A and B are shown apart, each in its own frame.
Chain A
């Protein structure tokens, strides 16, 4: 099983042998170890994963420039306009060539789903995955016009963005499977769920999804979070972890060449209650000090509302803008700006030192337990 060896956090992946014991990915590690006590838990080799992920993307980009990375191991590929290039070759044949190229050059086996939308392609990729007792061979293409028939086999929980809460609401209306929803006109669904969600659901169950494949998606937010080896009880201990997370989020922000206007702190209590607080600033920031100071205040607020042991802490920055957003001069400068030129210089120097001497070359005294 892959995951944190301290047996906290969740299972990243499990071998088929471990799966036989009921272990699956995203299961809390403690539970997985109880189910399968003889399992070997190995840490996730993040760097190697990132390298392989880049390698796969490079292979795919030789087939079309429109490759969007959805996660470390999921990609969307838009082949619209390549028909002439591949001399009218059936989509499934192109997919098989892609699959072979990836296997040859990265030694990794991938499953490929095809369809007229990202939604259908994603679900088809799941169907394509070779499993004992199925005819699946790694490629499954849903022909244009066959979407409705294809969708009928899925439960609503299989559709992305239909999470547990939405599932619960749908279940109350007697809707569990795609086929349950297909019995109703979209007007009926809009009456039950409101216009936005009703229309959305009516389209999704028919395999309609107009979201484009976006090769260069600008990040909408940058976040760093940490599940603690043991629940943290003290505010001080949490603040120390927050400092490290805020430093990393701010460094990621600067590496992306961006500034953020919104800062969010996420806290998961020992009983899995997840709470968050955020603040939007008048002027965008990117220095370690400002991100931490705003985050510290948010954490204080969250802890004041409920002070119980915490298992996870996260910092996210969003409403990202490029540095020239700072060129706008302000009329009302009676308030001292939150982030000063000095903050920016200090952050830049930290980045330069870490760039030259490694990520641990310079850190906060407090993060090393000597403050």
Chain B
């Protein structure tokens, strides 16, 4: 193995894969980056066994070959090197010499055979999507996934691929986010993807990239340009979320998002640390906020709203509402209700976008 690469190309390649490499691991080779010198350039790969990332950067390859090197050390060396071409050459078994100007290094690695092979995901017949669209879906939905271990399936984001649309849904059992975007072609599939993998997509692919998405039995693969991302899929089926989306909510309030968020933040100062319980009373043209926490105190606030329906008093976890508001893409939002113990919806108002977006939140009981 022998090749010459610019410092910038080396840093770019390492930057792409380094985030997939675990800081601590019981399998030493996972702390390494796999370097493969091929006719196309240098392919760099890293994995924590859940997610694998690989990318190819241009280089002048004199002799093909492969080795794994400690990722953190290589990143540190690349950062400290002077500007100029960097020459890599095999120097004995799993040993590599790195030269740049007058700086010389020899790094000990591990043989490439020890590096885990990547999942076999075939990209023929892959779905195609603009990275910007996937970013939008992930950016509005992934936050709602559960981070608790009690129901592993809720730790994933459901990605429904249909001939005419793509949808992402995530929930922790208390609140839910769902977004649809129109799409063309492609077959039908339901994938449950770990949010960590979707985060990599957001990080690695620019909005204008066209991504190919493919799956095998247990894995999902993403490809754009010379960069590939693979992730384990979470086994389904995903809970039937359609049946919990309320269709009979007969009360609706339209509010200013920023004003509502500010009031919620004020109220939550005095809310219980555990439940973050606040009370909302909708009637006429106003919503009254109140909170009462034993051993702490109470607070009230009020906002003008456009409200249609019978007066309603309802309790919420203020944190859930604040989080949902944060992801709403418009200045005004519409909330709908049926009753104090039934699901409420939150939607953007006047969103000029082909996508459709909604969030759902279950109330907190007000009486004890």
Contacts and interface: CB of A to CB of B under 8 A. Distances in A.
Interface centre among B150, B240, B317, by most chain A C-beta atoms within 10 angstroms, is B150
B173 interface: yes
Contact of B275 (A280, A324, A330, A331): A324
B148 interface: yes
Interface in B293-350: 315, 317, 341, 343
B368 A328 contact: no
Nearest to A282: B150
Contact of A331 (B150, B173, B364, B368): B173
Contacts of A304: none
A328 B317 contact: yes
B29 interface: no
A368 to B, nearest CB: 34
Interface string B267-300: 0000010110100000000000000000000000
A331 B363 CA distance: 10
Contacts of B171: 331-332
Contact of A332 (B149, B150, B244, B363): B244
Interface residues on B, range: 20 to 34
Nearest to B244: A331
A329 B362 contact: yes
A330 B174 contact: yes
A255 interface: no
Interface residues of A, number: 17
B226 interface: no
B274 A324 contact: yes
Contacts of B173: 282, 330-332
B246 to A, nearest CB: 10
A327 interface: yes
Nearest to A323: B368
A329 B364 CA distance: 6
Contact of A324 (B240, B241, B272): B272
Given A321-B274, A324-B272, A324-B368, A331 B317 contact: no
Interface of B: 24, 148-151, 171, 173-176, 239-241, 244, 272, 274-275, 277, 315, 317, 341, 343, 360, 362-366, 368
17 contacts: A194-B24, A261-B150, A280-B150, A282-B150, A282-B151, A324-B272, A324-B275, A324-B368, A327-B277, A328-B317, A328-B362, A328-B365, A329-B174, A329-B341, A329-B363, A331-B241, A332-B173
For the complex of A and B, list the 8 residue pairs with the smallest distance between their C-beta atoms, beginning with the closest: A282-B150, A327-B365, A329-B362, A327-B364, A331-B244, A332-B239, A324-B275, A280-B150
Given A194-B24, A331-B244, 20 more contacts: A282-B150, A321-B274, A323-B368, A324-B274, A324-B277, A327-B364, A328-B174, A328-B275, A328-B362, A329-B341, A329-B362, A329-B363, A329-B364, A329-B365, A330-B173, A330-B174, A331-B175, A331-B241, A332-B241, A334-B240
Interface of A: 194, 261, 280-282, 321-325, 327-332, 334
